[in-house]
Structure 1
Amino acid sequence: MKDDFKNKTVIITGASAGVGAATARTFAQLGANLVLVARGQTALDVITEELAEITSVINIAMDINDASANENLLITAAQTFGSVDVLINNAGLHHRGDVTLNQASDLAKMVDVNLRAPIQLSCLILPYLKQAGGGAIVNVGSLAGRTPLQGAATYAATKAGLRAFTYSLADELQNTGIYVGVVSPGPIDTGFIMSEIDQVEDIVFSQPMSTAQQVADAIVSVARGEKTEISLPKVSGWLTTISYLFPTLRKALRPALYRKGGKMKAQYKKRNLDSPN
């Protein structure tokens, strides 16, 4: 299966760092043509230059909330490589803290980036995938989308919505050769969390930390149609299912999870101080 993405065109949003960059490197090793998308041109140029030695790659600095830019993204990808085969909706935004501590406009922007844009891109890419004879859409969700999470109410809502959209679209497209799935990781050892560690709820760190590469490998697995959803770590996926089905138990466990998470958070902060680079 190492050649199953060879010469396939893969679009990755949020591709300049973290999970997006790890995913780009993984697909590059599999021989895919890459279309890397993010807001910042400089960071995009760095990862593009790195991967250009391995595969064919272009980058587009844009705002995925711009409907016309999304349409042009797909047109450019198809014109450059001849087809569009895979979409990885990875770009994400998180304004942390309780709803009362956030601006309404910031919460609305989270909905735009985390939910509206992936839905729009998924809809726009379908004619291209049908023309290609099949393909995949992989949405990067979160364990927060599998169970309520205080201090991240809007973020959890967007990821829950994205997960519901994924399963619904997967049912609509069954037997078409188009795979649709979601990867739902817990905390990931990237700047998305670690650069804002003081603002992250302690309970988040009660779950084992995944690496960007582990998430990237799960994304590839879902793109192959091997599973509709992969939760990372698997045990945390089970825990979120139990906590969702039994809310009284979730509330009872919350104090212990906060204590455990607080201890782990302190260890991660110490690690960051000891290894600032």
Structure 2
Amino acid sequence: MMDFKNKTVIVTGASAGVGAAVARNFAKLGANIVLVARGAEALDKITKDLASITDVYSHTLDVANSEACRELVDIVVEKFGSVDVLVNNAGYHQRGDVSSNNTRDLAAMVDVNLRAPIELSSLVLPHMLENKSGAIVNVGSLAGRTPLQGAATYSATKAGLRAFTYALADEVKECGINVGLVSPGPIDTGFIMDNMDTVEDIVFSQPLSTAEQVADAIVKVAEGKRTEIILPASSGFLTTISYLFPTLRRKIRPSLYEKGRKAKLRIAQGK
């Protein structure tokens, strides 16, 4: 297993939720933490929280900006000497049917959820290959394991990210680099909870995970214990069946929508 003490970990989308929880986990394991996010104020807060634990560097950028990502990796290598772990956690989701979405938002989902992780992985890999060690962990989604109507583009980006992860894992499996992903269902963070009304009811048909549970899974993947961890595990079976048997998926979809609608109402009422 990989030892993270004095290693350098880049976490995108690190200002809150899963990203902040991941940063805390790696900080407790003795890693140097590089926090990346768009919002400076929230990023400053988590930076101050972790500064007493380990060496922390925060960097404000949009991961969809290719040149900014290149500059980030150069800065991190100059400051810490290497990049040992990359956690591609930043995500963007503009919910709704394809026909009702702005094309700029559709493109932004592809840029943030798929292109950026691929580019960042490409940028850090030479340093990991030189050191013959490292880890890249991508944050996927149950939506990337089975098509999700009302989230077609988001689902496509996460499916693409999953395929990229498995292919890259095979490319570097003999190089001492752990590559994998965590595929969670709904997470109790602002990513979905702040805009529940816009979230498809079917999403809530699956149990909520906490940011800490997802963060723990990310560390396990980085350690090389698994290539993919699905949260909750029971949802992994359901997504596999629904992907392999699309006719069955369409038949059970109404019942999942009803289950999700009821769960969503309970959550909204604070029960």
TM interval, short-chain normalised: over 0.9
For structure 2, the residue ranges without an aligned partner over 5 or more in a row are none
Q: Which moved more, 1:146-155 or 1:67-76?
A: 67-76
Q: 8 Å contact 1:147–1:244 — kept in the other structure?
A: yes
Task: Tell me the residue number matched to 1:222.
Answer: 221
Task: Tell me the residue number matched to 2:87.
Answer: 88
Say yes or no: does 1:29 pair with 2:60: no
1:58 corresponds to which letter in structure 2?
Y
Task: Tell me the residue number matched to 2:12.
Answer: 13
Q: Which moved more, 1:67-76 or 1:214-223?
A: 67-76
Task: Tell me the residue number matched to 2:65.
Answer: 66
- Secondary structure of 1:208's aligned partner: coil
Paired with 1:254 and 1:5, the residues of 2 have a C-alpha distance of 42
- Secondary structure of 2:43's aligned partner: helix
For structure 1, the residue ranges without an aligned partner over 5 or more in a row are none
Alignment of 1:101-112 (within 5 A): 101-112=100-111
Say yes or no: does 1:39 pair with 2:64: no
Task: Tell me the residue number matched to 1:152.
Answer: 151
- Secondary structure of 1:76's aligned partner: helix
Paired with 2:109 and 2:252, the residues of 1 have a C-alpha distance of 28
CA shift, 1:69, in A, is: 1.0
Q: 8 Å contact 1:38–1:62 — kept in the other structure?
A: yes
Paired with 2:78 and 2:103, the residues of 1 have a C-alpha distance of 39
Say yes or no: does 1:78 pair with 2:71: no
Paired with 1:208 and 1:32, the residues of 2 have a C-alpha distance of 31
- Secondary structure of 1:87's aligned partner: strand
Paired with 1:252 and 1:65, the residues of 2 have a C-alpha distance of 38
CA shift, 1:181, in A, is: 0.3
How many pairs are equivalent?
271
Paired with 1:104 and 1:30, the residues of 2 have a C-alpha distance of 42
Task: Tell me the residue number matched to 1:196.
Answer: 195
Over 6 Å off, 4+ runs: none
String of CA shifts for 1:34-70, please: whole Å, max 9, x gaps.
0000001111100000000101000000111111211
CA shift, 1:105, in A, is: 1.1
Paired with 1:132 and 1:192, the residues of 2 have a C-alpha distance of 35
C-alpha RMSD of the superposition: 1.0
CA shift, 1:98, in A, is: 0.8
Task: Tell me the residue number matched to 2:261.
Answer: 262
